[in-house]
Structure 1
Amino acid sequence: MRLYSYHRSTTSYRVRSALNLKGLAYELEAVDLTEGAQHTADYKALNPGAGVPTLVLDDGTVLTQSLAILEYLDAVAPEPLLLPQDPIQRAKVQAAAHTVALDIHPINNLRVVQRLKGTHGFSAEAAQAWMCHWMAEGFAALEAQLGDDGPFSFGQTITLADLCLVAQAYNAHRWGLSLDPYPKVQRVEAACLALPEIQAAHPDAPQNAKDS
């Protein structure tokens, strides 16, 4: 498999984490979002949405959108299972994951910041305030959803919710948002970062940061 990824992309971080946890071999292909590599004709032929990640399977099948990729990986390599089989637990995990992936991330990604600065005249400080405001709102909602019965979001095993959370926490640190008001989020982040598979997926890990 080949994963088209940008090291600081939180969506790419989620997929790298899942691939590592499941022990699946893959090659990394760097897509430098800051240089506009996602807008080249060759890349848009793979991913018309001009985003990352893009996962190309061994047979040439192309998958896009991190949550769709993660669900595919769970289906073909269910160990560890990132989405619980119990319907209630599955819904809770998905709700927490969606709080990050659908509520926080879409208004906090690079294209939004570039638009705010380039079209609407936001200063760097105003753009940072925008990012932190929406992350703070999202983390407050996420904090209320997380469980108390284990190191991870919902117990003793890592799930899709954790992969979304730890990636968004990285973005919070980058933009200077304190996570002190969210002790459960901090607990989950620490549990995730203790895992070697998550460490290897981290944006600052040498094998991922080489595309900077």
Structure 2
Amino acid sequence: MSDALTLYSYWRSSAAYRVRIGLNLKGLDCKIQPVHLVRDGGEQRADGYRALNPQQLVPTLLHGERRITQSMAILEYIDECWPKPALLPTDARGRARVRALSQLVACDIHPLNNLRVLQYLKRELGTEQPAIDEWMRHWMREGFSAMQAMLADSTETGAFCHGESPTMADCCLIPQLFNARRFDLDLSAYPELIRIEANALALPAFERARPENQPDAE
């Protein structure tokens, strides 16, 4: 059985972006298979992709014949399959902290900012674009304010969200900051987030994962 890796990704998907970072940090060779989330009503809704991922979301990772969905599950999967460099700390307390920071983004901010939510607001509820943009900014402000406090208040914060090496929390934070800039969110109230982002983007693994560096970037 082949152990080749294929990531079904969309260049501007923050969930796919966080997985690309994780794969790069591990130094893994992975084929990127673009799935355009807008063209022709969304390629994720086509029968072929729906058979691969019934949720009709990206990312999906293929590892040989194994199929893994959900970005957080994928990140933990690759961390267990390729333990070094680690995306989670070795101690239980550290792992809990990194998971909490990661889920603040992946479970509290991102689902409310997801493309299908925005499309529902516009198409089904008739919400105008300026109100949708403010919806996005509101939930990012809520999450970023909490994350700024959690990072600033902890001696475990280092050059990155936890210590001196990138973890799963950084994989989640950096794509969300990309989204924040897309929607013109003022980030001046979050100096810890901006400091960590600068450290992360100085690393090749984060640079290669950036949306504008993807094969399907528009």
Give me the TM-score of the superposition, normalised by structure 1. 0.96
Give unmatched runs, 5+ long, in structure 1: none
Note if 1:29 corresponds to 2:37: no
Within a 5 Å distance, the mapping from 1:74-85 to structure 2 comes to 74-85=79-90
Count residues with an aligned counterpart. 209
What's the CA shift for 1:195? 0.6
Counterpart in 1 of 2:96? 91
Note if 1:195 corresponds to 2:203: yes
Q: Structure 1: how far apart are the matches of 2:217 and 2:176?
A: 20
Q: Structure 1: how far apart are the matches of 2:10 and 2:61?
A: 12
Detail structure 1 runs of 4+ shifted over 3 Å in the superposition: none
SS at match of 1:112: helix
Instruction: Select between 34-43 and 145-154 the one with higher mean Cα deviation.
Output: 145-154
Q: Structure 2: how far apart are the matches of 1:45 and 1:33?
A: 16
Give unmatched runs, 5+ long, in structure 2: none
Within a 5 Å distance, the mapping from 1:1-212 to structure 2 comes to 1-35=5-39, 36-58=42-64, 60-146=65-151, 147=154, 149-205=157-213, 208-212=214-218
Q: Structure 1: how far apart are the matches of 2:104 and 2:96?
A: 12
Q: Structure 2: how far apart are the matches of 1:56 and 1:120?
A: 36
Q: Structure 1: how far apart are the matches of 2:77 and 2:208?
A: 21
Q: Structure 2: how far apart are the matches of 1:63 and 1:49?
A: 12
What's the CA shift for 1:197? 0.8
SS at match of 2:211: coil
Q: Structure 1: how far apart are the matches of 2:216 and 2:69?
A: 22
Q: Structure 1: how far apart are the matches of 2:167 and 2:6?
A: 23
Q: CA RMSD in A?
A: 1.0
Q: Structure 2: how far apart are the matches of 1:164 and 1:211?
A: 20
Q: Structure 1: how far apart are the matches of 2:215 and 2:78?
A: 24
- Letter of the 2:72 counterpart: L
What's the CA shift for 1:209? 4.7
Q: Is the 8 A contact 1:31 1:211 kept in 2?
A: no
Q: Is the 8 A contact 2:10 2:216 kept in 1?
A: no
Q: Is the 8 A contact 2:18 2:171 kept in 1?
A: yes
What's the CA shift for 1:97? 0.4
- Letter of the 2:53 counterpart: N
Give me the TM-score of the superposition, normalised by structure 2. 0.93
| Seq. identity, % | 48
Q: Structure 2: how far apart are the matches of 1:57 and 1:209?
A: 20
